[in-house]
Amino acid sequence: MMSATLGTFLKTLDPALDIAMFETLHDCAQESSGSWNNAGTGHAANCELNYTPQRPDGSVDIAKALEVNTEFDLSRQLWAFLVKQGAIPDPRAFIHPCPHMSFVWGAENVAFLKARYGEMSAHHCYEGMEYSEDGAKITEWAPLIMEGRAAGEPVAATRMVTGTDVAYGSLTHLLVKHLSEQPGFDVHYEHKVTGLDRDGDRWRVTVADMTDGSSSTVTAKFVFIGAGGGALPLLQKSGIPEGKGYGGFPVSGIWLRCDAEGLAERHHAKVYGKASSGSPPMSVPHLDLRIIDGRKSLLFGPYAGFSTRFLKHGKLTDLLGSLTHDNIVPLLDVARDNVPLSEYLVGQVMQSAAHQFDTLKQFFPRARRKDWREDVAGQRVQTIKPHMSTGWFKHEEGVLEFGTEIVKAEDKSIVALLGASPGASTAASIALDVIETCFGDRLTADGWMPKLKEMVPTYGIDLKTDADACRRTRADTAPVLRIDNV
């Protein structure tokens, strides 16, 4: 998804560019971008409670939510541009309207959600947010989460009808298909990058053909490493000093999936709850409607786990192979400072199937085991970032990053994208960051800027502070993408 988005930007801004894409597997979007490997939430930070932490005084910080919310607007603008250009014939091939809800129970959690609603609904980015503690109203919004629930239990929910369900695997295929139809773009499947070496002012990229074992090289002025969990080993192969010390902590996941059409028809929402203490953000429990290839299903989870693989199709030796003398200290530092996370993952791995199903029943009290089956989610590699400590005793430390991290060479000739959530939802924002950093000299009035403003009309405008621009872009993109607006 990331590579396809950046390629789409670059090829549209300069059709004369020659671009080659290398993919180890037989097709694109088979790992984290795959439609069944993620929740498909158009992450606009409508419902994800981990983006709105509660301060010690009880107030709620919505700064991160606003950042993610407006980054999703950039993706909407890019997708709307591609639909209007005919590059994507039908937006329903990848995006559907689906309300986003937050749902909690218990007096303390209800108080938190009410405070969160107060902060968010007062901001123009969250116009139209609804809040209720009324069981009947919440049943109207999402009946499955209320039917069979104990009477008198304190509950609360917020809802944004502007939410979406996005099949990122389908979108990636649409983007790559569009790119492949243009001259100067080639995609090579079953080709694995095995080496990245400097060659003067260019990069020499060594590629192995997975079908016959042969090897070849290509040279490029610019390289983007958008390989999901496989990006860290390629960054290490590049040898750039900016990549030294980075490590990765793999987190696996399991979904419970229900394809019973009657149930999916009754749950038109993505409902997010509160994460357990010590859990990573990707493990926030949620009960989602999914619409993939025209079929509706329900997805619940994810149940986090631990695997030493960096990719679903990776090797058990991935984690061990990523250890270097540069990143071992940051890795150990993170292990020391994140004991609750380790305990949480161990607990998740040890959970029985019955235990997992009991968690689902907290969201869907009348769930029946026979309607659900296990499905393996995409593998995530959380970034471990090196940094120097503060204070008088300077020493190297590591910090666990739960978002995305862009690592760039000083000469701007190579960029690696590390990390996970919100990931694909903010692909346009990430691509724009890369373009600004590495191709900033081309963003001029007689260069790329006019076309870029056509692709992303609010480029350069802060939608968090410009309410009119925010309302205007949402009103413009919603009908093109056939999604709801307020």
For residue 485, being part of any structural domain is answered with: no
Least confident of 32-41, 179-188, 350-359, 421-430: 350-359
CA–CA separation, 170 and 156 (whole Å) = 34
Q: How high is the pLDDT of residue 347?
A: 63
How many Cα atoms within 13 Å fall on the side-chain side of residue 238?
26
The end-to-end CA distance of the chain, in Å, is: 28
Q: How high is the pLDDT of residue 333?
A: 77
For residue 325, being part of any structural domain is answered with: yes
For residue 223, being part of any structural domain is answered with: yes
CA–CA separation, 228 and 423 (whole Å) = 10
CA–CA separation, 271 and 291 (whole Å) = 15
For residue 486, being part of any structural domain is answered with: no
For residue 370, being part of any structural domain is answered with: yes
Q: Band the pLDDT of 393: cuts 50, 70, 90.
A: low
Strand 185-189 relative to strand 19-23, pairing: parallel
pLDDT in tens, 246-276: 988 888 888 999 998 789 999 999 999 986 5
For residue 51, being part of any structural domain is answered with: yes
The amino acid at residue 460 is G
> 304 or 226: whose pLDDT is higher?
226
The amino acid at residue 352 is S
Q: How high is the pLDDT of residue 328?
A: 84
List the structure tokens of 486. Answer: 């307020």
pLDDT in tens, 43-89: 899 999 989 999 999 999 999 999 999 999 999 999 999 999 999 99
Cβ proximity of 52 and 65 under 8 Å: yes
Residue 173, domain CATH:
3.50.50
List the structure tokens of 439. Answer: 């191709």
Q: How high is the pLDDT of residue 301?
A: 87
* Domain tally, the chain: 1
pTM: 0.93
Q: Which residue has the tokens 């480029």?
A: 459
Residue 176's domain comprises: 2-480
Instruction: For the sheet with 223-225, list strands across it.
Output: 223-225, 414-419, 404-408
Q: How high is the pLDDT of residue 345?
A: 58
The amino acid at residue 383 is T
pLDDT in tens, 282-300: 557 899 999 999 999 999 9
